[in-house]
Structure 1
Amino acid sequence: MPLELVTLRCLKDNYAYLLHGDEGTVLIDAPDAAPILRELEARDWSLAAILLTHHHADHTDGVAEIVRETGAMVIGAAADAHRLPPLDLRVSPGEPLEVLGEPVEIIDVSGHTVGHVAFHFPRSGMAFTADSLMALGCGRLFEGTAAMMWDSLSRLNALPGDTLICSGHDYCAGNGAFALSVDPDNPALHRRLKAVQEAREPCAPATLAMEHETNPFLRVDALRASLGMETAPDAEVFARLRQMKDSF
């Protein structure tokens, strides 16, 4: 049976995620303790672990209080351990990890930050990508380069199309507006934005297949001609799109 997923809104526009199965419950990122602890209490779930994707405060500020209240262990990237909350388990891309009885693939998705990781649960068909691949967009490049982020997106883009992409923020309005500005004739994009606006489906999570159809940062081949970059490498087309988004 796939793990049960609960999507929680935190702070202004953050997402945190609870995963629950026969072996317990884990949390991916901890923007704010209060809504997470309320949800755990309402469901009578005991939290075993917190998995952290990267060091930014809006993904880690709730850790100390949640650990105090639940005793959960904290798991995060070894490369980022010096600026994450205290870790009980340090993990690295490519190393084996098992969570709630499932194998978990740790993927290097540096770009937004260096040392950012995504957690892919292949059996349940979910990937927790935080501020790398996002709904209709990707994270701003605060620490890494465009080439680094393109490599990260390419790794995520190789996952099965039915993988549910669980990203770190609801930036759907801004990302959707930018996507329309560079891809105005994309019917799948118009359908998705209409469905979100009418609340017939959430902005996130969304399948990777949906991102393939609507996310401009995964559609460099479709957009290169309109940017006048017919012969440019994919990473350069991505870099141009990211620059355009930064000033949008």
Structure 2
Amino acid sequence: MPDYTGDVRPGGPPAVRSLPGLTITKVSVGPMDNNAYLLRCNADGSQVLIDAANEAPRLLELIGGAGLTAVITTHQHRDHTGALAEVVRATGAESLAHEADAAEIPVVTRTLTDGETVAVGDCSLEVIHIVGHTPGSITLAYRDPSGTAHLWTGDSLFPGGVGNTRKNRKNFESLIGDVETKLFGRFADDTWFYPGHGKDSTLGAERPSLPEWRARGW
């Protein structure tokens, strides 16, 4: 299998990354080139989906017969929830989202708060509340026992900058502040992050640009 790059496109094949405890499958769905991530515990086969964005039949095919424990929605925007109701209905999975965004998401069966964890079999994802792109945006953190951390950042952090705050200065200051302190301030440079759209990156690759992002205001 070629090395994982995280480069996917709508209608194209998924990208698969195998860690000692967790297998990550990244797929892009249209029409807005949204990323969805299927996480599978290698010990017991439990699966969790991050962002049932669109194309429910394609996501259900990816999930397959192993079933789904939960869908975690990173934030309330409709391009990240288009397939949520159908996937939950078909699989019986829990639907999890931060309490501050839950009212705007089609179906939520349990709300999340900052600092709690979600199990993927023997693996654990930490919920990190990042305010700014939406009130209830979350990043999910997996600390690989081999030493490298992995973050699913939704639309809060991308290669090249933080998420869109629509020129709202208060929201931008909240978002850049949370990203600096809760992500860059806590995790090492080799931490790999997986955004809601487009390519992946590492915190080390982006860290030198933080002053530039803050100065430009987006």
TM-score, length-scaled by structure 1 = 0.70
The answer for unaligned runs of 5 or more in structure 1 is: 171-203, 224-236, 243-248
Q: Confirm or deny: 8 A CA contact 1:132 1:152 kept in the other structure.
A: no
Q: How many residues align?
A: 188
Q: Identify the match of residue 52 of structure 2 among 8, 23, 30.
A: 30
Partner deviation per Cα, 1:87-115 (whole Å, 9 max, x = no partner): 22211002344332223221111111111
Q: Does 1:13 align with 2:13?
A: no
SS in 2 for 1:105: strand
* RMSD of Structure 2 on Structure 1 (CA): 2.0
Q: What residue is the counterpart of 2:98 in the other structure? A: 77
SS in 2 for 1:58: helix
SS in 2 for 1:6: strand
Task: Give the deviation of 1:239 after TM superposition.
Answer: 5.1
Q: What residue is the counterpart of 2:83 in the other structure? A: 62
Q: What residue is the counterpart of 1:161 in the other structure? A: 189
Q: Does 1:211 align with 2:206?
A: yes
State the distance in 2 between where 1:156 and 1:89 align.
24
Quick one: which amino acid aligns to residue 9 of structure 1? Answer: S
Q: How does 1:89-168 map to 2 (within 5 A)?
A: 89-123=110-144, 125-142=149-166, 145-154=171-180, 155-158=182-185, 159-168=187-196
- Percent pairwise identity: 31
SS in 2 for 1:40: helix
Q: What residue is the counterpart of 2:6 in the other structure? A: none
The range that moved more, 61-70 or 156-165, is 156-165
Q: What residue is the counterpart of 1:185 in the other structure? A: none
SS in 1 for 2:96: strand
Q: What residue is the counterpart of 1:183 in the other structure? A: none
SS in 2 for 1:150: helix
Quick one: which amino acid aligns to residue 48 of structure 2? Answer: V
Task: Give the deviation of 1:29 after TM superposition.
Answer: 0.4
Q: What residue is the counterpart of 1:240 in the other structure? A: 216
Partner deviation per Cα, 1:100-156 (whole Å, 9 max, x = no partner): 222322111111111111111123621110100112222110476221011121111
Partner deviation per Cα, 1:178-228 (whole Å, 9 max, x = no partner): xxxxxxxxxxxxxxxxxxxxxxxxxx2222222225xx3x2x1xx4xxxxx
More strand by share: 2
SS in 1 for 2:101: helix
The structure showing larger relative contact order (alpha-carbon pairs under 8 Å, at least 6 residues apart) is 2
- 4+ long deviations beyond 4 Å: none
Quick one: which amino acid aligns to residue 2 of structure 1? Answer: G
SS in 2 for 1:210: helix
State the distance in 2 between where 1:97 and 1:62 align.
21
Q: What residue is the counterpart of 2:62 in the other structure? A: 39
State the distance in 1 between where 2:88 and 2:116 align.
25
Quick one: which amino acid aligns to residue 156 of structure 1? Answer: L
Does the C-alpha gap of structure 1 residues 25 and 98 become closer, same or farther in structure 2, counting only changes over 3 Å?
Answer: closer
State the distance in 1 between where 2:162 and 2:83 align.
24
Task: Give the deviation of 1:13 after TM superposition.
Answer: 1.5
Task: Give the deviation of 1:34 after TM superposition.
Answer: 2.7
SS in 2 for 1:87: coil
